[in-house]
Amino acid sequence: MIEVYIDGASAGNPGPSGAGIFINANGTIDKYSIPLGVMSNHEAEFHAFIHALEICLEKGYDGSLVSFRTDSELVNKAVEKEFVKNKLYSPLLERALHLSKKMDLFFMKWIPSAENKAADELARQAIKKNETGEQTTS
């Protein structure tokens, strides 16, 4: 099973934002800290999810059981219901659903923030990288 922890963060709302993605693929750990520019925290959460889906598809995880973990209730509920009230997020949700349907075994679970510290730290690092345009993966 592939476990993917995602988080989006903003310094201000809107403000400089970042995506943090922590992937545990059967013991192999990958970390991503992606600067997103200026946006709201909710937008950053959706972008983190979209980036994580794209990474998983690029890595060929589409045939594996992939479990996404997020502390964003908005993103989790939007994916579960395939609907979001705020029309600003509709295109982001549509993109995320399109990508998630390319996976054979896709699962998303809401987790408390305390269980998402690795992705949160990566997202906060990404906020600082907005000034340099740097992106970190490991």
pLDDT at 134: 58
Residues 39-49, mean pLDDT to the nearest whole number = 97
pLDDT at 75: 98
Asked whether residue 136 carries a pLDDT value surpassing 80, the answer given is no
Q: Which two tokens stand for residue 8?
A: 């989006």
In the structure, what pLDDT confidence band is assigned to residue 58 with cuts at 50, 70 and 90? very high
CA quadruple 123, 128, 131, 137: dihedral sign: negative
Q: How far apart are CA 10 and CA 18, in angstroms?
A: 7
Contact 68, 107 (CB under 8 A): yes
Q: What percent of the chain has pLDDT over 90?
A: 90
| Structure confidence by residue, pLDDT tens digits, 4-30 | 999 999 998 899 999 999 999 999 999
Half-sphere exposure of 41 (CA within 13 A, CB side): 12
pTM of this structure: 0.93
Asked whether residue 119 carries a pLDDT value surpassing 90, the answer given is yes
pLDDT at 132: 64
CATH number attached to the domain at 2-137: 3.30.420.10
Contacts of residues 79-84 at CB distance under 8 Å and 24 or more positions apart, as own/partner, are 79/49, 79/108, 80/108
Contact 7, 127 (CB under 8 A): no
pLDDT at 83: 97
> Torsion angle of alpha carbons 128, 20, 72, 93, nearest 10°?
100
CA quadruple 62, 57, 66, 73: dihedral sign: negative
